[in-house]
Amino acid sequence: MKILGIETSCDETAAAVVEDGPSEASPRIVSNVVYSQIKEHAPYGGVVPELASREHVNRIVGVVSEAVEQAGGFGALDGIAVTTGPGLVGCLLVGVQMAKGLAVARGLPWLGVNHLEGHLCAASLSDSPPTYPHVALVVSGGHTHLYHVERFGEYQLLGRTLDDAAGEAFDKVGKVLGLGYPGGVHVDRLATGGDPKAFSLPRGIPAKKNFNFSFSGLKTQAVQTIRAQKEPLSGALLSDFCASLQEAIADVLTQKAVRAALHAGVSGVVLAGGVAANSRVRALLEERAGNHGLWAFCPAKKLCTDNGAMIAAAGWQRFKAGQDTNWQARVRSRWPLDELSDR
């Protein structure tokens, strides 16, 4: 079974094809094309929704055609999966219209996929995918959520951010530091070799209290610290600051993820979402999970940020489970994973 996945929920125009893979639970990537709109949004320091949807319209045909050609053409496809939420509505509509048009033209079934389930499915694109049940930490530009995942498609929310997402904290502080967009990527790079203890930054809600997160206090204090400097942070001091910021975020994320896994009585943690590409979050999660006899699964970095392969992988699982075309499916700006079964 070959499934085309289309992703346009934010600022990546992406399409990919996956096919049956090494096991019942894991498909294999045949093609994976991502057009990142970073340079269009960089001058504004963040994603401009109107610009993003226009750019999706400009790029979608080229991106989808390339992914499909690399996979043997439209004739080789068995179905189409497209992100229907959560995300920017004007952006989601571009991908959905493309998917529907192709479905009609080619007589193919199509499914709407939840973007967060897509992120979680990045882990399935491996020769030895993680087993169920597990705890999953989805950390991206819009989400910081911990789930107990009993099996594919069954998500119980354990905790979430009460304010900013971890990616937003990286990006907003990165912006004040004058780093490029998205800040998270630059903080990760600059933190290399920096001293993570150089600046003391708050961790938000204590790990012992519950599984919720708060990054607004960290953001405020980080910004105050930056503004209190006599000279703009640069060189080794900038590296120290980035390392300290990254440590504060990685510390609280990994502590809570490991505690959640122990609380849920599962054997491991799956990391997902753009912030899962962060080198310190990955290393610290592996270290702390290992200390408690748990496994930690971090997907390949390029599968952590938005891509079509993760959407195709989620669609592949859902087609296999018997789900079929639903012309009533609507795009949703907000679509919590634990509401998946109600659709």
- Interface residues with Zn ion (CB under 5 A) are 140, 306
For every residue of 325-336, DSSP letters joined together read: --TT----S---
167 binds, among Zn ion, ligand KG4, none (CB under 5 to 8 A by kind): ligand KG4
- By CB under 6 A, is residue 278 in contact with ligand KG4? yes
User: Does 10 help bind ligand KG4 (rule: CB under 6 A)?
Assistant: yes
Q: Which of 182, 196, 299, 308 binds ligand KG4 (CB under 6 A)?
A: 182
Q: What is the DSSP string of 303-325?
A: HHSS-HHHHHHHHHHHHHTT---
Upstream peptide bond of 182 is cis (omega within 30 degrees of 0): yes
Is 286 a residue that touches ligand KG4 (CB under 6 A)? no
CA 13 to chain centre: 14
Alpha helical stretches, state H, the chain: 38-41, 49-70, 89-106, 115-121, 166-176, 183-191, 216-228, 235-264, 279-291, 301-304, 308-320
Tokens of 130: 């993680």
- 98 sits near ligand KG4 (criterion: CB under 6 A): no
- For the record, the structure tokens of 335 come out as 């679509």
In the numeric block, which tokens belong to residue 170? Answer: 């990286």
Q: How far is the CB of 233 from ligand KG4 (least distance, A)?
A: 18
Binding partner of 225, given Zn ion, ligand KG4, none, CB within 5-8 angstroms per partner class: none
Closer residue to ligand KG4 in complex, CB, 64/139:
139
171 binds, options ligand KG4, Zn ion, none, Cβ within 5 to 8 A by partner type = ligand KG4
Give min distance, CB of 144 to Zn ion, in A: 12
Q: Interaction with ligand KG4 in 297-316: which residues (CB under 6 A)? A: 305-306
Q: Which residue number, 80 or 165, has a Cβ lying nearer to ligand KG4?
A: 165
Give the torsion sign (CA, 159, 160, 162, 166).
positive
Q: Least CB distance from residue 324 to ligand KG4, whole Å?
A: 27
275, interface contact from ligand KG4, Zn ion, none, CB < 5-8 Å by kind: ligand KG4
Q: In the bound complex, which residue of the shown chain has the CB atom lying closest to ligand KG4?
A: 274
Which range in 35-43, 103-111, 178-186, 326-334 contacts ligand KG4 by CB under 6 A? 178-186
The binder of 184, among ligand KG4, Zn ion, none, by C-beta within 5 to 8 A per type, is ligand KG4
Q: Is 273 in the site for ligand KG4 (CB under 6 A)?
A: yes
Closest CB to Zn ion among residues 168, 306: 306
Query: Cα Rg for the chain, rounded, in angstroms?
Result: 20
Of 59, 15, 17, 16, the residue nearest 37 (C-alpha): 59
Q: For residue 267, how many other CB atoms are within 10 A of its CB?
A: 16
Choice from 118, 141, 194, 196 touching ligand KG4 (CB under 6 A): 141
Q: Does 7 bind ligand KG4 (CB under 6 A)?
A: no
The CA-atom distances, in angstroms, between 223 and each of 69, 106, 186, 214, 246 are 47, 52, 16, 16, 14
Q: Which stretch binds ligand KG4 (CB under 6 A): 201-209, 229-237, 267-275, 310-318?
A: 267-275
Nearer to Zn ion, 240 or 306 (CB): 306
As measured in angstroms, the least distance from the Cβ of 82 to Zn ion is 14
Beta bridge partners of 113: 83
Q: Could you say whether residue 188 binds ligand KG4 (CB under 6 A)?
A: yes
Report the C-alpha gap between 242 and 182 in whole angstroms.
14
CB of 264 to Zn ion, least distance (A): 24
DSSP letter for each residue of 280-311: HHHHHHHHHHHHTT-EEE---HHHHSS-HHHH
Query: Which residues contact ligand KG4 by CB under 6 A?
Result: 10, 140-142, 167, 170-171, 182-185, 188, 273-275, 277-278, 305-306
